[in-house]
Amino acid sequence: MYFVIRVFQGAELNYPELEKLTLALIHTARKLRRYFQAHQIVVLTNKPIRQVLSKLEKSGRMAKWAIELGEHDIEFRVRHAIKGQVLADFIAETDNVNEEDTKNSTQVITPKVENEEWKLYTDGASSSDGSGVGLMLVNPERKEFTYALRFEFATTNNEAEYEALLAGLRMAKELKILHLRAFIDSQLVSNQIKGTFEAKQPTIQQYLSKVKELIESFKSFEIEHVRRSQNKKADALSKLASLTFEHLAKEVLVEVLEKKSILEEEVKDLIQEDEETWITPLQVYLETGKLPEDKNEEMKIRIKAPSYKMMNGA
């Protein structure tokens, strides 16, 4: 998975939305050129990019972009509410990109200051009409990011509360947040996580184990019980997601979960092997600038290196 990021500058800020989306596609195609040339690329979008690029009367930059994209086998498909696109939308809208990092092609979103605390509000809703959860992440500048999930499986209210919290913890982990304070209006779930109450049901025990596993990803984590009146936004999102979400605005990101979170294994940090692999020469070059003595290998490393970046020593 690649996260390709580029900040709009100068006149680009005034481009119409369709031109901005096309420019994003152009930038991605340039940075991941080898993949675009070797494979058919499927672009999931709810905007008429294909129709605009295929217009005969187009001119200027759109005409040049259409010619440039024409060398690739690109298929445009209607975008539905799927997890991959939700994460892309969410990360694009969090606006926490380090300016220095935007000069590179492949990026990871990180908070601006490591010791800043983010807040997470979650709520789950389960009824005969369906089940869903809502969550809201609030950054240190008090900017709010809303997110909703709808379940395609039956849940109890407590299971829905745990699903909401797990979704929020995973999102915070993806954003490399280190300090997190969670607010939940379920006193039972809050006390189970704190260890005050005991989880007796096997399913709830599995959920609790999952939560504790994700909590270890943060340098500091606290959870507080709040009244429902203090958690209105997350509560409203969860109720809305449990009924329908086809009419929601783009600002509310919706994900569909097909199975319970306790049925999935969490991905651990990659284990580094002692023996050399194909990536070893690249790591050596990126760390020390040293190239292989073989001229052919040297040329390969020089070509590949711009597509990679060392982060946290790996």
Domain shared by 188 and 299, yes or no: no
- 30 and 71 belong to one structural domain: yes
* pLDDT confidence of residue 211: 92
Residues 176 and 125 in one domain: yes
Please identify, among 35, 57, 78, the residue that sits at the C-terminal boundary of a domain: 78
Residue ranges, the chain, pLDDT below 70: 56-59, 79-115, 126-130, 228, 230-258, 264-275, 311-314
If one counts the domains in the chain, the total is 3
221 and 278, same domain (yes or no): no
- Per-residue pLDDT tens digits for 264-297: 665 555 555 556 777 888 888 888 888 888 888 8
Say whether pTM exceeds 0.85: no
Does 88 share its domain with 171? Answer: yes
Residue 200 within a domain: yes
Supply the DSSP string of the chain, one letter for each residue: ---B-----GGGGGS-HHHHHHHHHHHHHHHTHHHHHHS-EEEEESS-HHHHHT-TT--HHHHHHHHHHTTS-EEEEE--S-HHHHHHHHHHHH----GGGGGSSB-----SSTTPEEEEEEEEEEETTEEEEEEEEE-TT--EEEEEEEESS---HHHHHHHHHHHHHHHHHHTT--EEEEEES-HHHHHHHHTSS---SHHHHHHHHHHHHHHTTSSEEEEEE--GGG-HHHHHHHHHHHH--TT--TTSEEEEESS-GGGSPPPPPPPPPSS--TTHHHHHHHHH----SSHHHHHHHHHHGGG----TT-
- Based on the domain organization, do 55 and 121 belong to the same domain? no
Same domain, 193 and 220: yes
Do 156 and 116 share a structural domain? yes
On whether residue 5 sits in a domain, the answer given is no
* 33 and 182 together in one domain: no
Clarify whether residues 37 and 64 are in a common domain: yes
Asked if 218 and 248 sit in the same domain, the reply is: yes
pLDDT score of 265:
63
Residue 159 belongs to a domain: yes
Domain that holds residue 299: 270-314
Do 70 and 134 reside in the same domain of the chain? no
